A and B are shown apart, each in its own frame.
Chain A
């Protein structure tokens, strides 16, 4: 009954999300009238909402704390998918549509990176809290932030209609993308090139009722994909998810599928649309284990080579990456014009020449930024190489698993699997313990495994 209501609600939200942007392709509201300079220059629209009064920002912090606490309570104490879903809808409305997706924890990564490398930057208190607090909650209760607080997760969760399981090999390959995105986001923010997470946020157009046409298309495609592949952005792109994944593995408490002991009834096996349920070990032949050990040894030997190699590749990418910085791209345009390869001046080069700043100064600045990109490229490349190696090591390492349990890193604590467990039905008083026991083989299987 509850599931069907949630499903009907989702269809409504899905229809709303697809029809609404068509009515709201209007531009971002202007705070001030455009000045008339009698030129063909068009002023770019604001990318972020205008700042809020300080007192109102404290309300945002309060709402965040309350939402995180409630999400953890619903997931751990109540084990209620319905309440998690309702809180998720509230978060979508408040942090998404009302606050226009800003400030958000995902984007806060960039502010933190920027402040580390630019000591003069004054990071707002709200950004600090939005960055730190979900991480702290994750260390205690798992990814309850993803389940019901993050507006980006909520908008995708609302359109999950017919989720399919992604093949594990493809899942492993796609799982590297968030690390690359995180590395690039930190590199771009640290060098002052820009905040790419905000720039390429596919859902911001929905929240602000207006965005660049390409971003609206990207957002709609992502939502369409999200109907069959649950939360594609969260799983294969979200850079904040990388941090939450790491911390969630160490969480003090984490949601479990069953409130009791697992009887390996297999009813929950396909219940997770995110592929976050770990199955009990199959009997692995000794030969396969030996091959895995050999592969592990080889991986440990080649690890330094992979790190250095990927670091080198990262550093070689400094030229195309640094073009994302306004100063470097301006310097390149000036260079082209000075060498006569380009005859027509751009608005940026016109403005630069009018400022009277010497070109040597601009080139020196651009060189320094490119140097930063080169150093950053080494670090980001090395980081991605390390992630690749660790992922491969993880594939060959076998941890003993005797029952169905959640993958603490991947599990978003959404509570979908709860209802599939017969012992959850016992807890709710829907069936008797005897009926639940009949569904599985509790008294046989786990003990057999241990023997």
Chain B
């Protein structure tokens, strides 16, 4: 009786180990697939988390979205422009 229970337990353990390995592989595959999806889509318009103006967004610095790149470019331009005006002023002075 005890022997047969032991056999059943071994069989159950074997099946459980097999299932666990399959599930772990599945989870690893899912993680990699989702990671690849996230990375490949991260520069696109769809990767924005909230539909709000970019200015003030804490992610703006690292964001590669076209809209964010535009905002950053504009900010750079305006900074250059203002520094140019300032330096121009100094020259005059």
In the complex, A291 has a CB within 8 A of chain B: no
In the complex, A115 has a CB within 8 A of chain B: yes
Q: Name the CB-closest residue of B to A125.
A: B38
Q: Is the CB of A450 within 8 A of B41?
A: no
Q: Is the CB of A53 within 8 A of B37?
A: no
Instruction: Tell me which of B5, B27, B38, B53 contacts A122 (CB under 8 A).
Output: B38
In the complex, A46 has a CB within 8 A of chain B: yes
Binds A, one of B18-26, B70-78, B82-90: B18-26
Interface residue ranges of B24-83 to A (CB < 8 Å): 24, 27, 30-31, 34-35, 37-38, 40-42, 44, 46-47, 49-50, 52-53, 56-59, 61-62
Residues of chain B within 8 A (CB-CB) of A252 are 20
Q: Name the CB-closest residue of A to B65.
A: A122
Q: How far, in angstroms, from A136 to B46 measured CA to CA in the complex?
A: 29
Q: Name the CB-closest residue of A to B40.
A: A122
Q: Is the CB of B31 within 8 A of A122?
A: no
Q: How large is the interface on A (under 10, 10 to 19, 20 to 34, 35 or more residues)?
A: 20 to 34
Minimum C-beta distance from B69 to chain A (A):
15
Q: Name the CB-closest residue of A to B49.
A: A51
Minimum C-beta distance from A280 to chain B (A):
14
Minimum C-beta distance from A105 to chain B (A):
13
Q: Is the CB of A31 within 8 A of B56?
A: yes
Q: How far, in angstroms, from A135 to B59 measured CA to CA in the complex?
A: 28
Residues of chain B within 8 A (CB-CB) of A251 are 20
Whether A139 touches B23, Cβ cut-off 8 Å, given contacts A51-B49, A54-B59, is yes
Q: Name the CB-closest residue of B to A56.
A: B58
Interface residue ranges of A34-66 to B (CB < 8 Å): 46, 48, 50-54, 56
Interface size on B, residues (CB 8 A): 31
Q: Is the CB of B27 within 8 A of A136?
A: yes
In the complex, A400 has a CB within 8 A of chain B: yes
In the complex, B16 has a CB within 8 A of chain A: yes
| Number of residue pairs A-B, CB distance < 8 angstroms | 85
Q: Name the CB-closest residue of A to B53.
A: A32
Whether A52 touches B58, Cβ cut-off 8 Å, given contacts A122-B42, A122-B46, A252-B20, is yes
Residues of chain B within 8 A (CB-CB) of A46 are 50, 52
Residues of chain B within 8 A (CB-CB) of A131 are 34
In the complex, B92 has a CB within 8 A of chain A: no
Residues of chain B within 8 A (CB-CB) of A119 are 37, 41
Residues of chain B within 8 A (CB-CB) of A50 are 50, 52, 57-58
Whether A122 touches B37, Cβ cut-off 8 Å, given contacts A128-B31, A139-B20, A250-B16, is yes
Q: How far, in angstroms, from A315 to B55 measured CA to CA in the complex?
A: 44
Minimum C-beta distance from B27 to chain A (A):
6
Q: Is the CB of A115 within 8 A of B34?
A: yes
Q: How far, in angstroms, from A112 to B23 measured CA to CA in the complex?
A: 17
Most buried by B among A135, A400, A451: A135
In the complex, A392 has a CB within 8 A of chain B: no
Name the 4 nearest CB pairs between A and B, nearest first.
Answer: A122-B47, A122-B41, A120-B46, A123-B38
| Chain B residues in the interface with A (C-beta under 8 A) | 1-2, 5, 16, 19-20, 23-24, 27, 30-31, 34-35, 37-38, 40-42, 44, 46-47, 49-50, 52-53, 56-59, 61-62
A-B contact pairs, 12 of them (CB 8 A): A46-B50, A50-B58, A52-B58, A54-B59, A115-B34, A122-B38, A122-B44, A122-B47, A124-B49, A128-B35, A136-B24, A139-B20
